[in-house]
Chain A
């Protein structure tokens, strides 16, 4: 199972990457996709100027067996979503950190990013779960 060092992680199993333009991209982690199993449906938030608050549920992934919310990793606005996912949800299983990305956000502040976990801390957390 992979936990790339260049990403930040949430307790609720989202990953976060800061792009060069300052935007924030998120998805669910390798651990999350493995726990869920075959993902067959993804519901993404709408691109909107309405603010979303850190830890608000803003989308759903469903595997054959279970539905699971995913959460905004930071406070900000949704500026783009991965339009490929509704038609090919299996990409989240195949490439959770790449083509399986979910949402791009404009974060209100950089401070919240500093509260997220490093790859090392996240890996320790999930090793305690299994």
Chain B
């Protein structure tokens, strides 16, 4: 037995979240991810995945970056820099968006929160945070202030069908939040920003809190409803949950050279602003995307990023993400394939052998409708 995809924590200048000691005390396996020491699993990825699908799970995602943009021209500035239309975003609402580059690729995918009419927060992928801050500072125009507040924010995500009832007990303000709504609230004396957003395909919340209050909030959420409601979930299950829900991961389904129109994210890009960065390239890409994202079920092996996809023996593209998904109990993959070819007689090349694959609808998993 050899190998393993994550590096173990190698010391050096690896950053720690305010919850690092909590993870160690819970027996988490810590790995280095994007320069951070993060829990990849506690009691096992399959158990953790199913806990989120059936009850609730709590994630430490404090490695993610946060940027605030405020001032009279904040809206106009972000309308130029973000592909979704931030002008349609009311205060107290959040929006999934993309930072396009000049050539129609993507600098990062983000969530934008409109905290006040002239104040926005953008949540950034950890691996891209420094790049994003430099990009936004370099391209911003007008009267607005840009502030990297990553060091002042821990981020916890509470996800799963039981998330609503857990948070309602602790934080009445959260109970009435609509999907993609956000508001300031208090839990146990700490001010938090709570948003009904997530990255699992379940109902749930993301809770921004000052670092000094993160441990108390973490413990309160894990102890809620007698301690049986929510368990800690690592980055391993975060990845399988998002894959099962076919949510894109930067560096896999998105990067500087993949257009949002290829990645199945046409709905995000509002081509109503000619002054938007990347407008001409995005407009062109919208008319004839050369690739498209497809879902595959794979048998006889597990396809991973970089595996070739073949149709009737001819290579038509590459796997962007693949794993075994515990709730649907299938090995699946997302793949970018040529948009003009057929998808019949599909196979994925895993370790030099063609494994049969079938195209399937994405998302692979859709949660049951609930009343919230």
- Which chain B residues lie closer than 8 Å to A68 at the CB level? 1-4
One of B41, B302, B304 near A40 (C-beta < 8 A): B302
Whether the pair B304, A67 counts as a contact (CB closer than 8 A) is yes
A35→B331 CA distance, assembly (Å): 21
Whether the pair A35, B240 counts as a contact (CB closer than 8 A) is no
Whether the pair A64, B240 counts as a contact (CB closer than 8 A) is yes
- Which chain B residues lie closer than 8 Å to A36 at the CB level? 1, 4
Instruction: Give the size category of A's interface with B.
Output: 20 to 34
- Which chain A residues lie closer than 8 Å to B2 at the CB level? 12-13, 68-69
- Which chain A residues lie closer than 8 Å to B46 at the CB level? 38, 40, 64
**Given the contacts A43-B301, A62-B302, A65-B45, A28 and B1 also touching, CB distance less than 8 Å:** yes
Chain B's nearest CB lies how many Å from the CB of A35? Answer: 7
A13→B2 CA distance, assembly (Å): 8
A66→B2 CA distance, assembly (Å): 10
A41→B300 CA distance, assembly (Å): 8
B5 interface contact, C-beta 8 A = yes
A62→B2 CA distance, assembly (Å): 11
Tell me how many residues of B have a C-beta within 8 Å of chain A: 22
B323 interface contact, C-beta 8 A = yes
Most A CB atoms within 10 A — which of B1, B3, B6, B45? B1
Chain A's nearest CB lies how many Å from the CB of B336? Answer: 21
Whether the pair B301, A41 counts as a contact (CB closer than 8 A) is yes
One of A29, A35, A43 near B4 (C-beta < 8 A): A35
Chain A's nearest CB lies how many Å from the CB of B63? Answer: 18
Q: Which residue of A has the minimal Cβ distance to B6?
A: A65
A28→B40 CA distance, assembly (Å): 22
One of A13, A14, A40 near B324 (C-beta < 8 A): A40
Chain B's nearest CB lies how many Å from the CB of A27? Answer: 10
A66→B44 CA distance, assembly (Å): 14
A65→B2 CA distance, assembly (Å): 13
- Which chain A residues lie closer than 8 Å to B44 at the CB level? 37-38
A38→B43 CA distance, assembly (Å): 10
A61 interface contact, C-beta 8 A = yes
Chain A's nearest CB lies how many Å from the CB of B352? Answer: 11
B1-45 CB contacts (< 8 Å) to partner A: 1-6, 40-41, 44-45
Whether the pair B236, A69 counts as a contact (CB closer than 8 A) is no
Chain B's nearest CB lies how many Å from the CB of A40? Answer: 4
B351 interface contact, C-beta 8 A = yes
Q: Which residue of A has the minimal Cβ distance to B29?
A: A37
- Which chain B residues lie closer than 8 Å to A12 at the CB level? 1-2
Q: B residues touching A (Cβ–Cβ < 8 Å)?
A: 1-6, 40-41, 44-46, 236, 239-240, 301-302, 304, 323-324, 326, 331, 351
- 19 of the cross-chain contacts (CB-CB < 8 Å) are A12-B1, A13-B2, A32-B1, A37-B45, A38-B45, A40-B331, A62-B302, A62-B324, A64-B236, A65-B45, A66-B4, A67-B3, A67-B302, A67-B351, A68-B1, A68-B2, A68-B4, A69-B1, A70-B1
Nearest 4 Cβ contacts at the A-B interface: A40-B324, A32-B1, A13-B1, A38-B46
